[in-house]
Amino acid sequence: MSYRLRFDRRFMRHLEALPGDVRSVARRQVKSLADNPRPPRAKELDEHPGYYRLWLPRGYRLVWEVVEDEAVVDLLYVGPKSPDLYERLGLGRQ
């Protein structure tokens, strides 16, 4: 089953602004999510079922949500991991 990737312009701007080596890894990971939205290295976020994160090189993160009933992967964030990243995304621990 193939999933549709959904993202906004802000996500694309952040992706394109990544350093070259990180950008190439991030692009490959994003494309692969259409075929496998839960890759082996991904971690489901505690207390937020359906939301995943993947570590990218040099302290960057990719965060997305899998919407099963629509077969969609919502790409939420790609960029540097800051201490308050998940809180800013509304995905902090409760």
Show the domains of the chain with their CATH numbers: 4-88 (3.30.2310.20)
pLDDT attached to residue 73: 98
Q: Is the pLDDT of residue 94 over 70?
A: no
Q: Strand, helix or coil at 76?
A: strand
pLDDT attached to residue 64: 98
- Rounded Cα gap, residues 57 and 5, in angstroms: 22
pLDDT band for position 93 (cuts 50, 70, 90): confident
pLDDT band for position 1 (cuts 50, 70, 90): confident
- Rounded Cα gap, residues 73 and 67, in angstroms: 6
- Rounded Cα gap, residues 25 and 94, in angstroms: 31
Place of tokens 């993160």: 61
pTM (predicted TM-score)? 0.94
- Rounded Cα gap, residues 44 and 66, in angstroms: 10
